[in-house]
Amino acid sequence: MDADATGLFAPDRVAVVGATEREGAIGRAIVTNLAEFDGDVVAVNPKRETVLGHDCYPDLQAVPGDVDLAVVVVPPPVAIETVRDAGEAGVRNVVVITAGFSETGGEGAQRERELAAVADDYGLNLVGPNSLGVLSTPTGMNATFGPSNALPGNLSFMSQSGAFITAVLDWANDQDIGFKDVVSLGNKAVLDETDFLEFWRDDPETNVVLGYLEGIEDGREFIDTAREVTQDTPAVVVKSGRTEAGAQAASSHTGTIAGSEAAYEAGFEQAGVVRAENVQELFDFARALDGLPMPDSESVAVVTNAGGPGVMATDAVGDSRLSMAAFEDETLDALQESMPDEANVYNPVDAIGDADLERFETAMDIVLADDNVGCAIVVSAPTAILDYEELAAAVADCQREYEKPVVTCLMGGERTRHAEAVLRDAGIPNYFDPARAVGSLDALAVQRAVEAREYEAPAEFDVDRERAGEILEDAAARDARRLGVEAMDLLDAYGIPTPDGDVVDDPREAERIAGTIDGDVVMKIVSPDILHKSDIGGVKVGVSTNDVRDAYEDLVARARNYQPDATILGVQVQELVDVDAGTETILGMNRDPQFGPLVLFGLGGIFVEVLEDTSVRVAPVSEREADEMVDELDSAPLLRGARGRPPADEDAVTDAVQRLSQLVTDFPAILELDVNPLLATPDGVQALDVRLTIDPGEL
């Protein structure tokens, strides 16, 4: 989006191209929805002089004066011409409502490419096509054809589903939830989620960005932008099509070819995005992030007049990232002094059923003053002596005074209405279910951790990039796509340790190499055509230098015997490594269509294949991220010496992860790569085997 993009949400003048008075037409609905717009509205329609009282012109170029935003509702072929007109007429922002583009398949996709090309020629900020439109509450501009307008607020919302916007607005109006900007992204021919994220970063009226996304256009760009944005402005996203069935459905909905769920999970994590699993979480999290102050810690105090619901709140804290605050002695003393004997002064504080407003206030005051308390939940069952509206006002006061986030469960039905309005004005969400109240504090904890992050540039290791390039070029020259141990040097060039040895195509050379290695060696036939070397006797373990030449001839003979036309690249002569001295891990990589190279790490064998205990990040991977990749494995204790195992040199592990990340980032020609096993010992790591697939076209 260019610098003029403010014209998209805050234009002075909007032109509706395809405006009409025909009942039921989208061109009428948009003009009607623009009735409350502060700015000027003009219509474009060659067949009319006015539309619903607005001046009408035959085309955009005929409109006198500047137009900041053109909303296009003409049929698909005409839409492209209209966008060109807009460019010619100096209009900077265009929303294409018209459907019938890539979502309809082949021909439509071609039409969409043309549309994007025109927008590109003129440098237009183009939303859509196949969009419900855009709206922005400060100017009262509702340039959508949906049935509802938005209330004013500080949430800005982008959605890949127009229908979801209509549903959300109707619901949000009922819940008194307001928005700053809302945009229906449509097919994202030009502007996508990353553009809007960037735009709202600089928007002082946007407190929280919300997104409903079915896919991300450019994963790496999204991560880089979102990282900056989310340091100040929380972004909460529902990514639809998470499951296999969902992804299939999403693909037939918007034609989105989504990358793997693992990629999205890693990508959102790395981007600092707060991920919501469902619609309820999307808005619970957004409201909490919009309305509540940030806590200083994850320690929660619970104050209640009801034991059972207090226990439920405590359970919910136990399920979350939060923990129950341990009160300072003074807090306990003060509570003891002011609460009745039957009360429980330990957290959760149970002020018992006859607690009146004053007792609640006293308890809240005492616990919120405690430095060990980062945030609080006030849980109440309805009683005869407690007025919820008064309690709500007291909670709001407390939150203001202590600047700590407080959420409430004033439980009940009708009697909570007025209290909820008081709480809402103070930005405090009230839920019947303590688990939801805790969930909203949990979202603050996630955002707090994001804001505390210090993003470091990925390390740039001193590597032999030239040599790595040559190895890949050589492979490409002999038309090889799948490489094995003959490519161990690639790892070596990037500083990932490999055992001593080499691949040779001559028995004397094999003997010479063996002579440079201490002790006996391992010898393996190297052939892209022989995948299971062991099965054909293609591996010899513990060969002494004297026997190396014979062993060489024997390995080649076996391979020829097994498959006479196999390409034999030679024999690998390698130092004999004691695998029992360490833990076998896997370091892998593949390419995601949206996010690019994904790096995977896990313990080998059953941990990857049976237990699926792996961690994934989008490359390039920073040191912090590499550390996290190890930390988040369930099997991490095994790397760290659990049950008497040799503890691995973890720095060497994370170093290898980062070096691999650098390698696959440097060479887009590497499509897939697996180091399996990467042996992790107390003294470092060693890559014992490697397989990779390359695309010579990318070299």
Sites for a copy of itself among residues 242-301 (CB under 8 A):
242-246, 248-250, 252-254, 277-280
Fill in the amino acid letter for 305. N
Q: Which is nearer to a copy of itself, 234 or 434 (CB)?
A: 434
Task: Give residues 438-497 in contact with a copy of itself (rule: CB under 8 A).
Answer: none
Among 6, 139, 154, 173, binds a copy of itself (CB under 8 A): 173
* Cβ contact 530:536 at 8 Å: yes
Q: Which is nearer to a copy of itself, 294 or 324 (CB)?
A: 324
Q: How far is CA 403 from CA 14, 300, 374, 376, 427, in A?
A: 42, 14, 10, 11, 12
The least CB distance from residue 252 to a copy of itself, in Å, is 5
Scanning 59-67, 119-127, 430-438, 615-623 for contacts with a copy of itself by CB under 8 A, the matching segment is 430-438
The answer to whether residue 107 forms part of the interface with a copy of itself (CB under 8 A) is no
Task: Give residues 340-359 in contact with a copy of itself (rule: CB under 8 A).
Answer: 342, 344, 346, 348, 350, 353
The least CB distance from residue 587 to a copy of itself, in Å, is 19
Q: Which is nearer to a copy of itself, 635 or 658 (CB)?
A: 635
* Cβ contact 599:579 at 8 Å: no
Q: What is the DSSP letter of 44?
A: E
Can you tell me the distance from the alpha carbon of 321 to that of 368, in angstroms, rounded to the nearest whole number?
20
| Both structure tokens of 215 | 């896919």
The answer to whether residue 175 forms part of the interface with a copy of itself (CB under 8 A) is yes
The answer to whether residue 676 forms part of the interface with a copy of itself (CB under 8 A) is no
The least CB distance from residue 609 to a copy of itself, in Å, is 6
Q: Which is nearer to a copy of itself, 438 or 472 (CB)?
A: 438
The answer to whether residue 610 forms part of the interface with a copy of itself (CB under 8 A) is yes
Among 413, 457, 462, 578, binds a copy of itself (CB under 8 A): 413
Three-state DSSP at 208 gives strand
Half-sphere exposure of 91 (CA within 13 A, CB side): 33
The least CB distance from residue 381 to a copy of itself, in Å, is 4
Task: Give residues 307-336 in contact with a copy of itself (rule: CB under 8 A).
Answer: 307-312, 314-319, 323-324
Can you tell me the distance from the alpha carbon of 129 to that of 116, in angstroms, rounded to the nearest whole number?
10
Task: Give residues 538-567 in contact with a copy of itself (rule: CB under 8 A).
Answer: none
Q: Which is nearer to a copy of itself, 342 or 651 (CB)?
A: 342
Scanning 291-299, 378-386, 484-492, 505-513 for contacts with a copy of itself by CB under 8 A, the matching segment is 378-386
| Both structure tokens of 596 | 């690019």
Can you tell me the distance from the alpha carbon of 57 to that of 55, in angstroms, rounded to the nearest whole number?
7
Scanning 36-44, 199-207, 411-419, 520-528 for contacts with a copy of itself by CB under 8 A, the matching segment is 411-419
The least CB distance from residue 560 to a copy of itself, in Å, is 28
| Both structure tokens of 454 | 């210090």
The least CB distance from residue 297 to a copy of itself, in Å, is 16
The answer to whether residue 383 forms part of the interface with a copy of itself (CB under 8 A) is yes
Q: Which is nearer to a copy of itself, 243 or 544 (CB)?
A: 243
Three-state DSSP at 247 gives helix
Q: Which is nearer to a copy of itself, 148 or 661 (CB)?
A: 148
Total residues contacting a copy of itself (rule CB under 8 A)? 87
Q: Which helix (H) or strand (E) holds 304?
A: strand 299-304
Among 528, 605, 647, 684, binds a copy of itself (CB under 8 A): 605
Q: What are phi and psi of 40, to 5 degrees?
A: -100, 140
The answer to whether residue 238 forms part of the interface with a copy of itself (CB under 8 A) is yes
Q: Which is nearer to a copy of itself, 62 or 163 (CB)?
A: 163
Task: Give residues 28-87 in contact with a copy of itself (rule: CB under 8 A).
Answer: 29
| Both structure tokens of 495 | 């500083």
Q: Which is nearer to a copy of itself, 413 or 564 (CB)?
A: 413
Can you tell me the distance from the alpha carbon of 534 to that of 7, in angstroms, rounded to the nearest whole number?
67
Can you tell me the distance from the alpha carbon of 440 to that of 34, in angstroms, rounded to the nearest whole number?
35
Scanning 367-375, 382-390, 520-528, 584-592 for contacts with a copy of itself by CB under 8 A, the matching segment is 382-390
The answer to whether residue 696 forms part of the interface with a copy of itself (CB under 8 A) is no
β-partners of residue 585 are: 603, 678
Q: What is the DSSP letter of 430?
A: B
The pairs formed by 354-360 with CB atoms below 8 angstroms and a separation of 24 or more are: 354/305, 354/383, 354/385, 355/305, 355/383, 355/385, 355/386, 356/385, 356/386, 357/386, 357/387, 357/390, 357/391, 357/394, 360/303, 360/305, 360/386, 360/391, 360/394
The least CB distance from residue 324 to a copy of itself, in Å, is 5
Could you give the string, one character per residue 113-152, with x where binding to a copy of itself holds by CB under 8 A and - elsewhere?
----------------------------------xx----
Q: At what angle do helices 357-368 and 388-402 cross, to 10 degrees?
A: 20
- Alpha-carbon Rg for the chain in angstroms: 32
The least CB distance from residue 319 to a copy of itself, in Å, is 6
Task: Give residues 611-630 in contact with a copy of itself (rule: CB under 8 A).
Answer: 611
Can you tell me the distance from the alpha carbon of 212 to that of 239, in angstroms, rounded to the nearest whole number?
6
Scanning 80-88, 121-129, 567-575, 635-643 for contacts with a copy of itself by CB under 8 A, the matching segment is 635-643
Half-sphere exposure of 85 (CA within 13 A, CB side): 21
